[in-house]
Structure 1
Amino acid sequence: MSLKEKAISGLIWTFAQQFGHQLIGFIVSVILARILLPAEFGLIGMISIFFGVGMVLLDGGLTQSLIRSKELDEDDYSTVFFFNLFASFVIYVIIYISAPLIGNFYDQPILITVIRLYCLTFIISGFGAVQQARLTKNMEFRVQALMTVPATLIGGGVGVAMAYMGYGVFSLVWSQIVTSVISVSQLWFYTKWMPNLTFNFTKFKDHFNYGYKLTLSNLLNKIFQNLYIIIIGKYFSAAQVGFYTRADSTTKLPVTNISNALNKVTFPMFAAIQEDNVRLKRVYRQLMQMVVFVIAPILILMAVLAEPIFRFLFTEKWLPAVPYFQILCISGILHPVHTYNLNVLKVKGRSDLFLKISIINKVITIIGIIIGIQFGIFGLLYAQVIVSFTTFFLHAYYTDQFINYSAWEQIKDLIPIILLSLLCGGIILYLDLLLVNYLDFFRIITGLTVGGGVYFLLAWIFKFNSIGDLRKIVLKK
């Protein structure tokens, strides 16, 4: 199978995996949101940074090194496996000891037990990271897609059942643990791979030298991604954290589904053509336009229809999250662009620049937070949008250096897509004002159907290239 055929097949199966996982997860989340209180979701949001940091440290960037490296043997895989396993136990012990400090920081004693249980997934995940990397490196996305549904379905079912029985926040905790156990069990079953009882320090050093810079960069990213939650949790109520995390997770539903699915496939694909800058630019440009072509109208239409969507799915108690969601939709459009710009550095082996850019990004984020907090929670949200647009130019500068694709070229490629999305959003906003007295479900279906139809019709009329690219993926041609 050619690289192109592998990529198209990978995209199809990875989208199936992402959407299967997210669809089930979203349905479970909707059910749980109707049973549990925003404050209970807020408690999980408060510990998300510690969970995220632990998962970054657990990987150490070594699995990314495995995916990127062209020549590997069993010693490489076994060495990374045992490092991940050792790291998972160390990280869990640190979190376990630190739990009382975390509870005291938020003035939420229940977090001590919550975080000690929730972070058991570190150890569970440590057993499956290398198996996951092997599947990704070999572009075996069909297998990964088939594993996702049962894990998400069973884990979600456990969470819903426990919520109905009155376990509150612990229903969310055990849902995550059960999902992780089933996922890792399937990784062992499907890969049929077991480590050798070896640890090669030379190979470890090679992978570590590449991976630690990515780890530090990803660590900074994870901390700063959750910095808004930390500040909201510290200075506002648990319910406000719940509203923010609900808005953020709903925004990321289309963004992470599409951009992460593409990123999972394109990283090994980019790595395979890393020496051919002309081809790399062409493929990169095509993929970036395609993902924004899909994400931009979805986010804008969801922002326009946010009130009926939140009331229909989550009930009236979640309506305070609507303005948060609408603001976050703006910055969400650029999320995949950031990812692809930074991916160029990774495939070129410049993890040092990746780390440097991450540090600069964080300085910009801190400045934004210091200024934004003066204006309350909405100041923080608008600061997030401004920071996203500012860092775009930084990321694009280095993309221009490596594959000659400047910020101005990227803007010219993306502006028509974004303008078309805004036009359709304006049409649906006017239409929804006429339907304001109708049922929420009718408003949502009408808005999304008409908006999506107008968008694709105009894109076809104006001959947007992404229409043809999507057709090729769907039809595998």
Structure 2
Amino acid sequence: MTTPERRRDPEEDRMAAEGQGARAGGLGRAATSGVLWLMVQSLAARGIGFVSQLALAWLLTPADFGVIGLAYTVFGIANALVSFGVDDVLLQRQKVMTLWSAPAFWVCLSLGLLGMVGMLVAAPFAASWYHSPELVGLIAALAIATPIKTLATVPSVRIRADMDFRFLAAYNTFEIMALQLGTILLAWLGCGAYSFAIPIPVLAVIKAALFWWKAPPRIGRAIRKVQLQYILGSSSTVFATRTIIEIVNQGDYIVLGLIASHSVVGLYFFAFRFSAQPVRMLAGNFINVLLPAFAQLRSDPHRQTEAALKACRLLAYIVVPFCFLQAVLAGPGLHFLFGERWMRAVPFVQILSLGLPFDAVSWITGSLLSARREFRLGLMFAVISAPLFFGLAIAGGLADSALGVAMAVAFYYFTYPPLCSLLILRRCGVPVGRVMELYVMPFVISAVAMGLGYASSLLPGVRAHDLSRVIAIGTVGTGLYPVLLFMLRRDVFDQLAGRFGGMLGKFRRVKGGVAQAA
């Protein structure tokens, strides 16, 4: 679908001109503050998610994890279809957003209702496809959330455009905590796989209410035909890209659902959730901050590219050690907590934890493409990714079931996303050496630090006990990483220290202000 020629609107031009000057001065400060707030939220979410994962591993069986993993293949793809890319297009018009809120809202709600109907229709077919009758009820429970979630789309874009990341960080932390506690409570009550599904529509209602209170959209304006044509036309490429990406994201579960038992799918689902948390939480929060900032820097491509590079470097040096640490902790950690119950998931955790961090940088370079409105290039990368991913996953699954799929997925993320990031950044004029440094140095430093941590856990007197091995790995690995970073990349060490120092200073000032007020 081609994008129609957009008509000039004098009121939009006036509002854009007024907004540009007002926003320019505080952009850097707002983006930096946003990264800090959402980084704290990511760390809190990581802790909450880790504890929740442990509790659910005690309360549920691998088969329960497997069934909900299969249900998510339908839910995830349906939500990609529903989002349609309206939020990205609306964010590009953030300076005149009030003129576009009404058509964007009604488009989102209409798509949400269609998505719910589509999921309800697809549920029996998915149950037959995966030989799992219980999927009908699970998918129906998830389908209810689909139109409700769209109610928060326009307010969420408004909040992101205003760079109110403190509110977003607070809400995200609340949502993660409520979701995990609700899931654990339902699992304790014996709800099985439904423990994952029931809290989602409930939290969708809460999010819609809070976001409307924070940033109520103006949906009473008259809607012009040209606006609908522009939103749907501009969104079509983003829609296709997101749909393909979501199908790829669910591809390993789709393949395993056809060739493996629910228990095996559950072991893989458990491992993937555990392994992907650092990348998805940190990278996802980074792009929430950076996409609106990149969009405002569109008139200054050099500054935009440099901001993207700094963000890529910061993210890579934070995510990679997290992933490597969980790879070396998986064996003794899971055995200490669960005995033999989840030990079959250990190889999956290790393999995926070493492959997934290679995907982190591509989240930011993908946002850079969106900010530059190069949606067709993003679609081209997505179109190439689908046959590549499914080809690898099918080959791995046929060769060695879940272990083969895990190795195929790790290999995919080790190769294709870095290649895409390299091509995007080279297109922006970044030398190959600067791009490769984003991958090579974080992985070398992390591998050495965590490798030595793992070696220390094999020393006599330590290796006999799982807990002593966990303590040794954590102490040595996390202690060596900043030392090696200081020795080999002092500039990055100073950047990270400055970021965290500024964050601590902010919290001290906030705490002092609260105490003074009291």
TM-score (norm 2): 0.87
Contact 2:109 2:150 in 1 (8 A): yes
- CA 85–372 in structure 1, closer or farther in 2 if over 3 Å, else same: same
Q: Which residue of 1 aligns with 2:408?
A: 383
The worse-fitting range, judged by mean Cα deviation, of 370-379 and 120-129 is 370-379
Distance in 2 separating the partners of 1:237 and 1:379: 15
Query: How far off is 1:312 after superposition?
Result: 4.0
Partner of 2:449: 424
Q: What residue is the counterpart of 1:64 in the other structure?
A: 88
Give distance in 2, aligned partners of 1:184 and 1:5: 28
The residue number in structure 2 matching 1:355 is 379
Please report how far the alpha carbon of residue 71 of structure 1 lies from its aligned counterpart in structure 2 after TM superposition.
3.5
- Structure-2 change in CA distance of 1:345 and 1:148 (3 Å): closer
Matches within 5 A, 1:355-374: 355-374=379-398
> Offset of 1:182 from its aligned partner?
2.0
2:474 aligned to which of 429, 436, 448 = 448
Change (3 A) 1:313 1:194: farther
Worse-matched range after superposition: 25-34 or 450-459: 25-34
* Identity over aligned pairs, percent: 22
Task: Give the whole-Å Cα distance in 1 for the aligned partners of 2:419 and 2:274.
Answer: 27
Per the alignment, residue 75 of structure 1 pairs with 99
The match for 1:436 is 463
Which position in structure 2 is the counterpart of 1:118? 142
Distance 1:157 1:400 in 2: 41
Q: Is 1:127 matched with 2:177?
A: no
Equivalent residue, structure 2, for 1:17 = 41
Query: Which stretch has the larger CA shift, 192-201 or 431-440?
Result: 192-201
Q: Check conservation: 1:152, 1:179, Cα contact below 8 A.
A: no
Instruction: Classify 1:166/1:367 alpha carbon distance in 2 versus 1 (closer, same or farther; 3 Å).
Output: closer
Note closer, same or farther for the CA distance 1:168–1:414 as it changes in structure 2 (3 Å cut): closer
Residue 150 (structure 1) shift: 3.4
Output aligned runs, 1:304-323, within 5 Å. Answer: 304-313=328-337, 316-323=340-347
Partner of 2:229: 205
Q: Give ranges in structure 1 of 5+ residues lacking alignment.
A: none
With over 3 angstroms needed to count, the CA separation of the structure-2 counterparts of 1:313 and 1:7, relative to structure 1, is farther
CA contact 2:316–2:438 (8 Å) conserved in 1: no
1:176 pairs with 2:200: yes
Corresponding position of 1:398: 423
Superposed CA offset, 1:155-188 (max 9, x none): 4333222222212112221122322222222212
CA 1:393–1:140: 2 relative to 1, 3 Å: closer
User: Aligned letter for 2:492?
Assistant: S
Equivalent residue letter for 1:458: L
The 5-angstrom pairing of residues 197-346 of structure 1 reads 198-313=222-337, 316-346=340-370
Match of residue 458 from structure 1: 484
- Where 2:191 maps in the other structure, the secondary structure is coil
Measure how far apart 1:315 and its partner are. Answer: 5.2
Q: Tell me, in whole angstroms, the C-alpha distance in 2 between the residues paired with 1:213 and 1:113.
A: 33
Q: For the residues of structure 1 that align with 2:208 and 2:79, how far apart are their CA atoms?
A: 14
Alpha-carbon distance in structure 1 between the residues aligned to 2:44 and 2:451: 31
| Unmatched segments (≥5 aa) in structure 2 | 1-24, 504-518
Q: Is the 8 A contact 2:53 2:274 kept in 1?
A: no
TM-score by length of 1: 0.94
Counterpart-to-counterpart distance in 2, 1:231 and 1:370 = 6
Q: Distance in 1 between matches of 2:352 and 2:218?
A: 43
Whole-Å Cα distance in 1 between the matches of residues 149 and 471 of structure 2? Answer: 39
CA deviation string 1:318-361 (max 9, x = no partner): 11111011111122121112222322221111101110111011
Deviation of 1:118 after TM superposition, in Å, equals 1.6
Choose 3-12 or 339-348, whichever is displaced more: 339-348
Distance 1:50 1:37 in 2: 21
Distance 1:404 1:108 in 2: 51
**Aligned-pair CA distance for 1:16:** 3.0
Match of 2:498 in 1: 472
Q: CA deviation at 1:45?
A: 0.3
Contact 1:75 1:198 in 2 (8 A): no
**For the Cα contact (< 8 Å) 2:426–2:432, is it kept in 1?**
no
Q: Bigger shift: 316-325 or 65-74?
A: 65-74
- 1:459 & 1:326 partners in 2: Cα distance? 23
Greater C-alpha Rg: 2
Q: Partners in 2 of 1:216 and 1:437 — Cα distance?
A: 53
Q: Relative to structure 1, is the Cα distance of residues 151 and 426 closer, same or farther in structure 2, using a 3 angstrom cutoff?
A: closer
Q: Distance in 2 between matches of 1:13 and 1:200?
A: 38
